[in-house]
Structure 1
Amino acid sequence: MRLHTADDGALARVRVPAGVVSAAQAYALADAAERLGDGALDITSRGNLQLRGLGPGCGGELARLLDAAGLLPAPRHERVRNIVASPLSGLDGRGHLDVQPLVRELDALLCASGRTPDLSGRFLFALDDGRGDMTELAADVMLLAEPGGARVRVTVGAASARVRPEDGPRAMLLAAEAFLDAASATGTKAWRVRELPAQGAELAGAPVWRELTSSAPAPPSPQGPDSAADPESAGPESAGPGSAAPVPGAVPAGPHGVGALSVGVPLGRLSVAAWRVLADIARAHGTGELRVTPWRGVVVPGAGPGQSGAPAAAGLVTDPASPWPGVGACTGRPGCAKSLADVRADATAHLAAGAGGLPVYWSGCERRCGHPRGTWVDVVATGDGRYDVAVRGAGADVPPDRRALPELADALAAARTITTPTK
């Protein structure tokens, strides 16, 4: 494993496609964080997991622990297993297709390919079951299930193709290879599709799309040729403006689902004790797995409201009225040398300011690591005990308002209640 250096020790990112880990793997991660790290796990904005506070020489031991737990199936391909997917797919009866089987197939194809190790660790694959929750994550290759579930649309840059669901993972692999071809042909060092000279427009002419449409003709759509996410599919399972995150609490089972318990993780960081509580619930009351979400939460498939007490007692969020799901922050001090403030402490102190309004994200410097997509309140430390507060998003930029900490609550509350234009 290649460890990254931070002020609080080395850190390791463990990629978990679609955020899915078994209860046994969850226990193994808890043991690794306890034995080798700082006793906590961090959830990233791509639904992966991080261990922090690691010793500089423990990479080999960590790799052996992860390999034994089945979390490192292809070390040469580990960096490219960046896959996100609708976390409630197959659980709540919404969406047009359960994409979890497609995630597993895509992961196997990526790990078997001789070309995918050339992708950067930032290249992102997303599978949306039709509810539209993945669209805000700006993936490089997207699979979107269409109404009826008889076909899926695979998109990379300006190129897209409709194929049968069973052909979707292969189409996503071919799309990634088309990106590599385009990056090589242009002589660029692009890591993402949007970094290509034409921001991906050149991919529309790639031969791969002719191959896809000729070898796997898509069946007709039962509800029109260009239907995307059905508004009814999004339903109440989206957490406030600008976010498609599952709301904390019980997720009712749909006609073909098993239901779930959705748990929020304040600022995306949870102790190994809290993590083990979720693994215990998954093993005893759920389907035996956890799904970590890109919104720094955890879904426990098969669990219900009767299991919400233990996570709440461990400091996790199961109340849908909690203000925590609308608040995020980078690592900040003391873990990051570039941070100009302890943003997590300041975010916690201002938790109630503007609760229920726009999402707010606290950053220790102008890099804004891990900031959300969509429309959000941008709070950036300036290094003089002050923060710049602004509203970001397409068509919604509001100039920064610099405030000292004693004045920050009013500025936050005002920014989070701004009504932004919608497209």
Structure 2
Amino acid sequence: MPQPPSAATSRDEPVIRDRGDACPGALRLHAADDGFLARVRIPGGLLGGAAARLLAEAADRLGDGHLDLTSRGNAQLRGLGAGCGGELAALLDRAGLLPAPTHERVRNIVASPLTGLDRRELPDVAPWVPALDRLLCASGAAAGLSGRFLFALDDGRGDVTSLAADVTLLAWDADRALLWTAGAREGLLVPAPHAPRAALVAAGYFLDAARAAGTRAWRVGELPPGHALTAAGLGARLAAEGVPASPEPVPEHPRAAPPGPGVVTGPGPTSALSVLAPLGRLTTAQWLRLAALTGRMRLTPWRGVVVPGLPARTAAAALAGLADAGLVTAPDDPWRSVTACTGRPGCARSHADVRADARAAVGAAVTGAARGPLAVHWSGCERRCGHPRGTAWVDLVATPQGYDLAAPGRDPLHGVPPDALATALADARRTPQNPAPAPRVPQAPYTP
């Protein structure tokens, strides 16, 4: 089985970076085997219709006609030409997606996608997203964060608390938020109106600690023991900023499942639609169909899209139309729990065309050959880019000899040929009576 992240990043063995963060962005393109790649940060996944249409225009005019959803609720364009940077930047600027070019890679904010949209009667944390984004973009120091540093804003349901964020805000009640940093057992209760500013203070605390450590840490978990962040240290910084805070243990929250596909009944006269994109990839036609429904979209960290604001009487018909467009709209769809990295031909590191192999296995799943309650992630190499977090899953890794397969509570298999995968997955995806923890992977290279 893959080794736990803690084994790979123990604070007894601090990560020492010998180079700057090369995480791709909208202005810093990444050269891939299928052309250049741009990663566009969309804080909280919150996207308006006009911006969505301009992103589709960029994908059609400059890229390969698709948009990829990432595990942080961002969007990627692939197949870009080497000389398109200026034109792409102009389109994104028109879309309002480059509010601060010097900060565009640090706007990594995930938020509970259904906050304010369902009948849970939890605090709505969506307003925290633009507030934190504005503070980040206005802070000169925040430009020093790596493109991998992550903020999570959870409305109390416990969905994005499972995403291993560096700074987490959890709505405690209508008036307070609990703030903590990665690995902490104690957090700080702060007034809800001050929550975004408190999160920025925590990020500044990390930057100062990383500078003092001299290891060029990119994330909180990479700080060595002598420079670890503490609730007391964070509390002192908050007090200096005029933010009242009181200590509170970080709760052992049950990890809520991500939004499932279907109609989400709202607290008022409107409903939302939740859909998933097979393998996290949308054609521009699918993307534009979603954008046209209400002019609002929420991209989720689970490669899905939530469309809010539909009249309840039309929601079911709209969902059926999205099913016809090839999106995942039903809980029993075999694509619901299948994810994959880019694989060949887009990634030079990959040993296989993992998406094609996944499609073949899902085709077999229609007849029941590879269905099961466990998610499965296909990786072209040992980096396992984009693997699931916070849930049990089947780990498939391509090697020159075939696929290595690991699943909770089962003996690993090595060198499984593609034509035997459907049968192997049929067994591996069934939950054993006493399942082991989810496969854990090294905290390696950033998983987009």
The answer to whether TM tops 0.5 is: yes
| Structure 1 residues 357 and 302, CA gap change in structure 2 (3 angstroms) | same
Map of 1:178 onto structure 2: 205
Q: Please, which of 307, 316, 322 is the counterpart of residue 318 of structure 2?
A: 307
Contact 1:277–1:310 (Cα < 8 Å) also in 2 = no
Between the aligned partners of 1:230 and 1:305, the Cα distance in structure 2 is 33
Contact 1:161–1:212 (Cα < 8 Å) also in 2 = no
Q: Please, which of 51, 69, 78 is the counterpart of residue 77 of structure 2?
A: 51
Between the aligned partners of 2:70 and 2:283, the Cα distance in structure 1 is 15
TM-score by length of 2: 0.84
Please give the secondary structure, in 2, of the residue aligned with 1:13.
strand
- Residues 178-257 of structure 1 mapped to structure 2, 5 A cutoff: 178-198=205-225, 201-206=228-233, 208-212=234-238, 215-217=242-244, 228=251, 244-254=257-267
Letter aligned with residue 402 of structure 1? G
Letter aligned with residue 354 of structure 2? V
- 1:323 Cα deviation (Å)? 1.4
- 1:211 Cα deviation (Å)? 4.2
Map of 1:285 onto structure 2: none
Map of 1:91 onto structure 2: 117
Between the aligned partners of 2:118 and 2:307, the Cα distance in structure 1 is 12
Identity %: 58
- 1:398 Cα deviation (Å)? 5.0
Between the aligned partners of 1:260 and 1:199, the Cα distance in structure 2 is 47
Map of 1:260 onto structure 2: 272
Contact 1:264–1:298 (Cα < 8 Å) also in 2 = yes
Q: Does 1:330 align with 2:355?
A: no
Gaps of 5+ in 1: 239-243, 283-287
Please give the secondary structure, in 2, of the residue aligned with 1:80.
coil
Q: Please, which of 24, 36, 40 is the counterpart of residue 62 of structure 2?
A: 36
Contact 1:388–1:403 (Cα < 8 Å) also in 2 = yes
- 1:68 Cα deviation (Å)? 0.8
| Structure 1 residues 414 and 163, CA gap change in structure 2 (3 angstroms) | same
Between the aligned partners of 1:80 and 1:421, the Cα distance in structure 2 is 35
Between the aligned partners of 1:295 and 1:213, the Cα distance in structure 2 is 36
Letter aligned with residue 184 of structure 1? R
| Structure 1 residues 66 and 229, CA gap change in structure 2 (3 angstroms) | farther
Moved more, 406-415 or 244-253: 406-415
Aligned pair count reads 397
Map of 1:369 onto structure 2: 385
- 1:245 Cα deviation (Å)? 1.8
Letter aligned with residue 297 of structure 1? G
- 1:421 Cα deviation (Å)? 4.2
Q: Does 1:151 align with 2:168?
A: no
| Structure 1 residues 211 and 406, CA gap change in structure 2 (3 angstroms) | closer
| Structure 1 residues 227 and 174, CA gap change in structure 2 (3 angstroms) | closer
Instruction: Give structure 1 regions of 4+ aligned residues with deviation exceeding 6 angstroms.
Output: none
- Residues 339-378 of structure 1 mapped to structure 2, 5 A cutoff: 339-351=350-362, 352=365, 353-374=369-390, 375-378=392-395
What whole-Å deviation, never above 9, does each CA across 1:163-215 have from its counterpart, x for those lacking one?
01111100100000000111111111110111111397443342x41243684
CA RMSD of aligned residues (A): 2.3
Letter aligned with residue 129 of structure 1? D
Map of 1:379 onto structure 2: 396
Gaps of 5+ in 2: 1-26, 439-448
- 1:133 Cα deviation (Å)? 0.1
TM-score by length of 1: 0.88
Please give the secondary structure, in 1, of the residue aligned with 2:44.
helix
Q: Please, which of 104, 111, 115 is the counterpart of residue 78 of structure 1?
A: 104
Contact 1:154–1:172 (Cα < 8 Å) also in 2 = yes
Please give the secondary structure, in 1, of the residue aligned with 2:258.
coil
Q: Please, which of 32, 37, 52 is the counterpart of residue 11 of structure 1?
A: 37
Map of 2:129 onto structure 1: 103
Please give the secondary structure, in 2, of the residue aligned with 1:139.
coil
What whole-Å deviation, never above 9, does each CA across 1:215-274 have from its counterpart, x for those lacking one?
444699xxxx7695887xx8xxx6xxxxx22111101113x6843000110000010011
Contact 2:260–2:331 (Cα < 8 Å) also in 1 = yes
Letter aligned with residue 10 of structure 1? F
